[in-house]
Amino acid sequence: MATIQTSVDRCRTEGVSRGLGGNRPVDPGQLIVSGPEDAAKVPPESLSAETVSAWLRRHPDFLHEYPEVLTFLTPPEFKRGERIVDMQRFMLDRMKDDVSDLRRREKQLMSAVEGNAAGQSKVHQSVLAVVGASDIHALNSAIRTILPGILDVEAAVLCIEEPGALALAGANIIGTGGIANLMGPKRRVLLQGNTPGEAIVFGGEAERVKSVAYLRLRTGKNSPAMLLALGSGRDDGFDRQQGTELITFLADVLEERMKQCLGPKS
Protein backbone atom coordinates (compact mmCIF):
# COMPACT_ATOMS: atom_id res chain seq x y z
CA MET A 1 0.00 0.00 0.00
CA ALA A 2 1.34 3.40 -0.93
CA THR A 3 2.31 5.66 1.90
CA ILE A 4 0.32 8.86 1.94
CA GLN A 5 2.33 11.87 3.11
CA THR A 6 0.27 14.21 5.22
CA SER A 7 0.29 17.96 4.74
CA VAL A 8 2.10 18.30 8.05
CA ASP A 9 4.82 15.91 6.86
CA ARG A 10 5.17 17.80 3.58
CA CYS A 11 5.52 21.09 5.38
CA ARG A 12 8.15 19.65 7.66
CA THR A 13 10.10 18.18 4.75
CA GLU A 14 9.94 21.35 2.68
CA GLY A 15 10.79 23.47 5.66
CA VAL A 16 13.85 21.39 6.41
CA SER A 17 15.06 21.50 2.80
CA ARG A 18 14.55 25.25 2.65
CA GLY A 19 16.35 25.67 5.89
CA LEU A 20 19.33 23.70 4.68
CA GLY A 21 19.46 25.67 1.45
CA GLY A 22 19.04 29.03 3.12
CA ASN A 23 21.54 28.49 5.93
CA ARG A 24 24.24 26.84 3.84
CA PRO A 25 27.25 29.22 3.52
CA VAL A 26 28.11 30.41 0.03
CA ASP A 27 31.08 28.65 -1.46
CA PRO A 28 33.59 31.39 -2.48
CA GLY A 29 34.49 29.34 -5.50
CA GLN A 30 30.88 29.45 -6.74
CA LEU A 31 30.32 33.16 -6.25
CA ILE A 32 30.31 34.80 -9.70
CA VAL A 33 30.55 38.58 -9.67
CA SER A 34 31.96 40.34 -12.71
CA GLY A 35 31.45 43.95 -11.64
CA PRO A 36 29.50 46.43 -9.49
CA GLU A 37 26.24 45.63 -11.29
CA ASP A 38 26.45 41.94 -10.38
CA ALA A 39 27.67 42.75 -6.87
CA ALA A 40 24.53 44.79 -6.23
CA LYS A 41 22.43 41.65 -6.87
CA VAL A 42 24.26 39.51 -4.29
CA PRO A 43 22.26 39.22 -1.01
CA PRO A 44 24.23 40.80 1.86
CA GLU A 45 23.63 37.79 4.10
CA SER A 46 25.42 35.55 1.59
CA LEU A 47 28.68 37.51 1.90
CA SER A 48 31.34 37.14 4.54
CA ALA A 49 34.85 38.46 5.05
CA GLU A 50 36.21 35.13 3.87
CA THR A 51 34.05 35.21 0.72
CA VAL A 52 35.10 38.73 -0.21
CA SER A 53 38.75 38.01 0.53
CA ALA A 54 38.71 34.86 -1.60
CA TRP A 55 37.04 36.70 -4.50
CA LEU A 56 39.57 39.55 -4.40
CA ARG A 57 42.46 37.08 -4.43
CA ARG A 58 41.07 35.61 -7.65
CA HIS A 59 40.65 39.14 -9.13
CA PRO A 60 43.84 41.05 -8.26
CA ASP A 61 43.12 43.77 -10.86
CA PHE A 62 39.80 44.77 -9.30
CA LEU A 63 41.05 47.97 -7.63
CA HIS A 64 42.78 49.06 -10.84
CA GLU A 65 39.55 48.63 -12.80
CA TYR A 66 37.36 50.24 -10.12
CA PRO A 67 39.60 52.75 -8.30
CA GLU A 68 36.57 54.67 -7.01
CA VAL A 69 36.13 51.90 -4.43
CA LEU A 70 39.20 53.23 -2.63
CA THR A 71 37.44 56.50 -1.85
CA PHE A 72 35.10 54.88 0.68
CA LEU A 73 37.38 52.20 2.11
CA THR A 74 38.98 52.67 5.51
CA PRO A 75 42.71 51.96 5.08
CA PRO A 76 44.55 49.85 7.66
CA GLU A 77 47.16 51.31 9.91
CA PHE A 78 50.64 51.32 8.42
CA LYS A 79 52.60 48.16 9.14
CA ARG A 80 55.95 47.08 7.89
CA GLY A 81 56.57 43.59 6.73
CA GLU A 82 57.67 41.62 3.73
CA ARG A 83 54.16 40.64 2.69
CA ILE A 84 52.24 43.63 4.08
CA VAL A 85 50.74 45.95 1.46
CA ASP A 86 50.64 49.61 2.42
CA MET A 87 47.08 50.48 1.37
CA GLN A 88 47.50 54.03 2.60
CA ARG A 89 50.42 54.51 0.21
CA PHE A 90 48.43 52.87 -2.58
CA MET A 91 45.46 55.17 -2.02
CA LEU A 92 47.69 58.23 -1.70
CA ASP A 93 49.44 57.44 -4.97
CA ARG A 94 46.08 56.97 -6.64
CA MET A 95 44.89 60.35 -5.37
CA LYS A 96 48.11 62.02 -6.54
CA ASP A 97 47.60 60.57 -10.01
CA ASP A 98 44.01 61.86 -10.07
CA VAL A 99 45.11 65.35 -8.99
CA SER A 100 47.88 65.41 -11.59
CA ASP A 101 45.40 64.37 -14.28
CA LEU A 102 42.97 67.10 -13.23
CA ARG A 103 45.71 69.73 -13.30
CA ARG A 104 46.84 68.58 -16.74
CA ARG A 105 43.29 68.85 -18.07
CA GLU A 106 42.87 72.25 -16.46
CA LYS A 107 46.03 73.52 -18.17
CA GLN A 108 44.84 72.17 -21.53
CA LEU A 109 41.46 73.86 -21.08
CA MET A 110 43.02 77.17 -20.06
CA SER A 111 45.41 77.01 -22.99
CA ALA A 112 42.52 76.41 -25.38
CA VAL A 113 40.51 79.28 -23.88
CA GLU A 114 43.48 81.66 -24.08
CA GLY A 115 44.20 80.58 -27.65
CA ASN A 116 40.59 81.17 -28.69
CA ALA A 117 40.56 84.59 -27.06
CA ALA A 118 43.81 85.56 -28.80
CA GLY A 119 42.49 84.34 -32.16
CA GLN A 120 39.27 86.27 -31.72
CA SER A 121 41.17 89.44 -30.91
CA LYS A 122 43.35 89.07 -34.02
CA VAL A 123 40.33 88.58 -36.28
CA HIS A 124 38.58 91.60 -34.78
CA GLN A 125 41.64 93.76 -35.42
CA SER A 126 41.80 92.44 -38.98
CA VAL A 127 38.14 93.30 -39.52
CA LEU A 128 38.79 96.87 -38.36
CA ALA A 129 41.66 97.16 -40.85
CA VAL A 130 39.43 95.89 -43.67
CA VAL A 131 36.50 98.14 -42.79
CA GLY A 132 38.79 101.14 -42.46
CA ALA A 133 40.09 100.86 -46.05
CA SER A 134 38.81 103.82 -48.08
CA ASP A 135 38.89 102.21 -51.55
CA ILE A 136 39.90 99.05 -53.40
CA HIS A 137 43.55 100.09 -53.56
CA ALA A 138 43.68 100.79 -49.82
CA LEU A 139 41.87 97.51 -49.19
CA ASN A 140 44.41 95.45 -51.14
CA SER A 141 47.23 97.32 -49.42
CA ALA A 142 45.73 96.57 -45.98
CA ILE A 143 45.52 92.89 -46.86
CA ARG A 144 49.16 92.70 -47.95
CA THR A 145 50.78 94.94 -45.35
CA ILE A 146 48.56 95.05 -42.25
CA LEU A 147 46.91 91.63 -41.98
CA PRO A 148 50.18 89.61 -41.85
CA GLY A 149 51.32 91.50 -38.74
CA ILE A 150 47.95 91.17 -37.02
CA LEU A 151 47.39 87.49 -37.86
CA ASP A 152 51.03 86.52 -37.30
CA VAL A 153 51.46 85.08 -40.80
CA GLU A 154 54.16 85.48 -43.42
CA ALA A 155 51.84 86.53 -46.22
CA ALA A 156 48.27 87.62 -46.93
CA VAL A 157 47.33 87.89 -50.60
CA LEU A 158 44.18 88.66 -52.55
CA CYS A 159 43.94 86.56 -55.73
CA ILE A 160 41.62 86.77 -58.72
CA GLU A 161 41.11 84.45 -61.68
CA GLU A 162 40.49 87.10 -64.35
CA PRO A 163 41.87 90.59 -65.03
CA GLY A 164 39.74 93.43 -63.73
CA ALA A 165 39.59 96.26 -61.21
CA LEU A 166 41.10 94.08 -58.50
CA ALA A 167 44.01 93.15 -60.75
CA LEU A 168 44.67 96.81 -61.39
CA ALA A 169 44.59 97.35 -57.62
CA GLY A 170 47.36 94.78 -57.12
CA ALA A 171 45.57 91.43 -56.70
CA ASN A 172 47.39 88.36 -58.06
CA ILE A 173 45.94 86.84 -61.24
CA ILE A 174 46.02 83.04 -60.98
CA GLY A 175 44.05 82.17 -64.14
CA THR A 176 40.68 80.61 -64.84
CA GLY A 177 40.10 77.53 -62.68
CA GLY A 178 43.04 78.38 -60.44
CA ILE A 179 40.96 78.59 -57.27
CA ALA A 180 39.21 75.28 -57.95
CA ASN A 181 42.60 73.67 -58.49
CA LEU A 182 43.73 74.88 -55.08
CA MET A 183 40.68 74.06 -52.95
CA GLY A 184 38.08 72.21 -55.00
CA PRO A 185 34.97 73.49 -56.79
CA LYS A 186 32.73 74.40 -53.82
CA ARG A 187 34.76 74.53 -50.61
CA ARG A 188 34.59 77.91 -48.84
CA VAL A 189 37.57 77.45 -46.52
CA LEU A 190 40.59 75.16 -46.77
CA LEU A 191 43.23 74.83 -44.05
CA GLN A 192 46.37 72.80 -44.77
CA GLY A 193 49.26 72.16 -42.42
CA ASN A 194 52.80 71.30 -43.46
CA THR A 195 52.12 72.65 -46.95
CA PRO A 196 54.55 74.83 -48.94
CA GLY A 197 53.23 78.02 -50.47
CA GLU A 198 52.33 78.15 -54.17
CA ALA A 199 54.42 80.66 -56.10
CA ILE A 200 51.45 81.56 -58.30
CA VAL A 201 49.57 82.56 -55.14
CA PHE A 202 52.18 84.04 -52.81
CA GLY A 203 54.78 85.15 -55.37
CA GLY A 204 58.19 85.81 -53.84
CA GLU A 205 56.89 85.16 -50.31
CA ALA A 206 56.03 81.52 -51.12
CA GLU A 207 59.41 80.27 -49.87
CA ARG A 208 58.58 81.34 -46.30
CA VAL A 209 55.14 79.71 -46.27
CA LYS A 210 54.81 76.30 -44.56
CA SER A 211 51.04 76.05 -44.01
CA VAL A 212 48.15 77.77 -45.75
CA ALA A 213 44.57 78.99 -45.37
CA TYR A 214 42.49 79.60 -48.50
CA LEU A 215 39.17 81.48 -48.32
CA ARG A 216 36.91 81.67 -51.37
CA LEU A 217 35.34 85.09 -51.96
CA ARG A 218 32.39 86.16 -54.14
CA THR A 219 31.11 89.73 -54.36
CA GLY A 220 28.22 89.04 -56.74
CA LYS A 221 26.78 86.77 -59.43
CA ASN A 222 28.72 88.50 -62.22
CA SER A 223 31.99 88.86 -60.33
CA PRO A 224 34.96 86.57 -60.98
CA ALA A 225 35.99 84.05 -58.35
CA MET A 226 38.42 85.49 -55.81
CA LEU A 227 40.59 84.12 -53.05
CA LEU A 228 42.12 85.37 -49.82
CA ALA A 229 45.30 83.37 -49.21
CA LEU A 230 47.07 83.36 -45.84
CA GLY A 231 50.48 81.73 -45.48
CA SER A 232 52.00 80.86 -42.11
CA GLY A 233 55.69 80.38 -41.47
CA ARG A 234 54.95 77.43 -39.13
CA ASP A 235 54.11 73.90 -40.21
CA ASP A 236 51.17 73.89 -37.80
CA GLY A 237 50.11 77.50 -38.30
CA PHE A 238 47.03 76.17 -40.10
CA ASP A 239 45.69 72.61 -40.12
CA ARG A 240 42.45 70.77 -40.84
CA GLN A 241 41.64 70.31 -37.14
CA GLN A 242 41.29 74.03 -36.48
CA GLY A 243 37.92 75.72 -36.28
CA THR A 244 36.94 77.97 -39.19
CA GLU A 245 34.27 80.19 -37.60
CA LEU A 246 36.54 83.20 -36.97
CA ILE A 247 38.37 83.09 -40.27
CA THR A 248 35.06 82.66 -42.12
CA PHE A 249 33.77 85.76 -40.34
CA LEU A 250 36.78 87.67 -41.63
CA ALA A 251 36.02 86.46 -45.18
CA ASP A 252 32.38 87.58 -44.86
CA VAL A 253 33.40 91.08 -43.79
CA LEU A 254 36.00 91.26 -46.57
CA GLU A 255 33.37 90.31 -49.16
CA GLU A 256 31.02 93.05 -48.00
CA ARG A 257 33.76 95.67 -48.00
CA MET A 258 34.84 94.65 -51.51
CA LYS A 259 31.27 95.03 -52.75
CA GLN A 260 31.20 98.55 -51.37
CA CYS A 261 34.54 99.43 -52.95
CA LEU A 262 33.79 97.90 -56.35
CA GLY A 263 30.30 99.35 -56.65
CA PRO A 264 26.87 97.87 -57.54
CA LYS A 265 27.95 96.49 -60.93
CA SER A 266 30.21 93.94 -59.25
Q: What is the pLDDT of residue 31?
A: 52
pTM passes above 0.85? no
Cα–Cα distance measured from residue 147 to residue 123, given in angstroms and rounded to the nearest whole number: 9
In sequence order, what are the residues at sequence separation of 6 or more whose Cβ sits closer than 8 angstroms to the Cβ of residue 261? 133, 135, 136, 139
Q: What is the pLDDT of residue 92?
A: 74
Question: Going edge to edge, which strands form the sheet with 189-192?
Answer: 172-173, 155-160, 226-232, 211-217, 189-192
- Asked whether the beta carbons of 123 and 249 are under 8 A apart, the reply is yes
Angular region, 225: left φ>0, alpha ψ -120 to 50, beta rest: beta
Domains and CATH numbers, the chain: 112-262 (3.30.450.40)
Q: What is the pLDDT of residue 170?
A: 79
Angular region, 197: left φ>0, alpha ψ -120 to 50, beta rest: beta
DSSP category for residue 213: E
Please report which helix (H) or strand (E) contains residue 15, including its range: helix 7-23
Q: What is the pLDDT of residue 218?
A: 84
Q: Mapping DSSP to helix (H, G, I), strand (E, B) and coil, where does residue 172 land? A: strand
Q: Which of 115, 120, 117, 118 is nearest to 249 (CA)?
A: 120
Give me the tens of pLDDT residue by residue for the chain, a chain 266 residues long. Answer: 444 444 444 444 444 333 333 444 444 445 555 555 565 566 766 778 888 888 888 988 887 777 777 666 666 655 555 555 566 677 777 777 777 888 888 887 887 777 778 889 999 999 999 999 999 899 999 999 999 999 999 999 999 987 766 666 778 889 889 999 999 988 999 999 999 999 999 999 999 999 999 999 987 777 778 899 999 999 999 999 888 999 999 999 999 999 888 776 55
Q: What is the pLDDT of residue 158?
A: 93
- Asked whether the beta carbons of 217 and 254 are under 8 A apart, the reply is yes
Q: What is the pLDDT of residue 224?
A: 75
Q: What is the pLDDT of residue 37?
A: 58
